[in-house]
Structures are given as structure tokens and as C-alpha cells.
């Protein structure tokens, strides 16, 4: 049974959006905002697959070689670059969606498909930025900062064994 009603999804979006406003923009969001270029976004996303956000920011300005493009990258570029609804599922989106109980999945691809059935299409593009920001600043992979979490009351903390 999925207890994520439309009203709860709207409340989740509102709280994540408020949290997002208080945080530094992710590198990919900054690239999209600064360039409005799908190509620059694509290159930055490929770089980010194997680097930390800070490194991506530097490397994106240098435009390195362009290796293969996977599903995550393709969806990000479809969404941010061309405004075509697609859910970009990276490690943050996969982890937090499962902790919240939005989905119950074991792979990013399965998470993408499950989220398509849970989230309104209006959230397919922004959910990546919202959850990446949230994952980088609050809901960390190890020992998330649950005390005082803005999603308190919405999050069942599924699979969380250690937290602060
Ligand atoms: S309560 Fe903890 S597990 Fe849930 S979203 Fe917040 S930080 Fe993450």
C-alpha cells in the first residue's frame, strides 16, 4: 500500500522546495541556469558521474572528452535541456525515495519506473534537483541528519539504522 497521497506529495514538494531555497545550487543546476545549453548540461552530467560536485564545477568549465551517455544523463538532459518530462534518478534520488517510502526498489532504473507512477508529471523534472540538494545537505548516505529534519512527520526513515 502506498500512503503517499496527492496531498502528501504536494506537502513533500513544498518542504523540499523551501529547503532547496536555503541551499547553494547544485553544479548541474548552476550550469543549466548559466548556459541554457543542453550540450553543456550533457557534458557536465557525464563529468559528474565520477567526480564530486566541487570537481564537476571546475571540470565543466574545461569541457573534457565525451564518453557514453547513460539513462540518468539522458533523462537529465531531456528534462533540463529540452523540458521533456523525465525523471533523472541518481544515487540521491534512489536512496531518499526509498527512505521516504515513495518506492520500494533495489535499482535506480526500478526507482525511475516506480516514481513515474507516484509523482505527478510536474515533478518529474524538478525532483532530481530537489533530492540531490536534500541528499547533499541533510539526508546523507551514512548517518543522515534526521534530528530537526524538515521532512519530519512525512518520512518513515525506511532502512535508516544510524542517524544524527
Ligand atoms: S528524517 Fe532522516 S531519513 Fe528521513 S528524509 Fe530526513 S534526514 Fe532523511
What distance in Å separates the CA atoms of residue 95 and residue 106, rounded to the nearest whole number?
9
Ordered by start, the domain boundaries in the chain are 6-137
pLDDT tens-digit series, residues 95-108: 999 999 999 999 99
CA 153 / ligand 1 centre spacing (Å): 10
Mutate to test the pocket of ligand 1, among 134, 146, 153 (most ligand atoms within 8 A of CB): 146
Average pLDDT of the residues of the chain? 86
At residue 156 the predicted structure's pLDDT band, cuts being 50, 70 and 90, is very high
pLDDT tens-digit series, residues 116-152: 999 999 999 999 999 999 999 999 999 999 999 999 9
At residue 53 the predicted structure's pLDDT band, cuts being 50, 70 and 90, is low
Contact 151, 93 (CB under 8 A): no
Is pLDDT above 50 for 63? Answer: no
153: left (phi over 0), alpha (psi -120 to 50) or beta: left
Non-local (6+) Cβ contacts of 107 within 8 A are 94
CA 157 / ligand 1 centre spacing (Å): 6
Pocket of ligand 1 (CB under 6 A): 99, 138-139, 144-146, 149, 151, 155, 157, 160, 163
Amino acid at each position: 500500500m502506498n500512503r503517499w497521497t496527492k496531498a502528501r506529495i504536494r506537502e513533500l514538494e513544498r518542504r523540499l522546495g523551501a529547503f532547496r531555497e536555503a541551499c547553494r545550487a547544485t553544479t548541474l543546476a548552476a550550469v543549466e541556469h548559466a548556459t541554457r545549453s543542453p550540450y553543456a548540461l550533457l557534458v557536465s552530467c557525464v563529468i559528474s558521474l565520477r567526480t564530486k560536485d566541487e570537481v564537476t564545477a571546475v571540470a565543466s568549465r574545461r569541457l573534457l572528452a565525451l564518453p557514453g551517455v547513460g539513462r540518468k544523463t539522458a533523462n537529465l538532459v531531456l528534462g533540463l535541456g529540452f523540458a521533456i518530462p523525465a525523471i533523472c534518478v541518481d544515487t540521491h534520488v534512489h536512496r531518499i525515495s526509498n527512505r521516504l517510502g515513495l518506492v520500494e526498489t533495489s535499482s535506480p532504473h526500478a526507482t525511475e519506473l516506480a516514481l513515474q507512477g507516484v509523482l505527478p508529471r510536474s515533478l518529474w523534472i524538478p525532483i532530481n534537483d530537489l533530492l540531490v540538494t536534500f541528499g547533499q545537505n541533510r539526508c546523507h548516505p551514512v548517518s543522515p541528519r534526521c534530528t530537526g529534519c524538515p521532512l519530519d512527520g512525512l518520512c518513515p526513515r525506511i532502512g535508516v539504522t544510524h542517524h544524527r
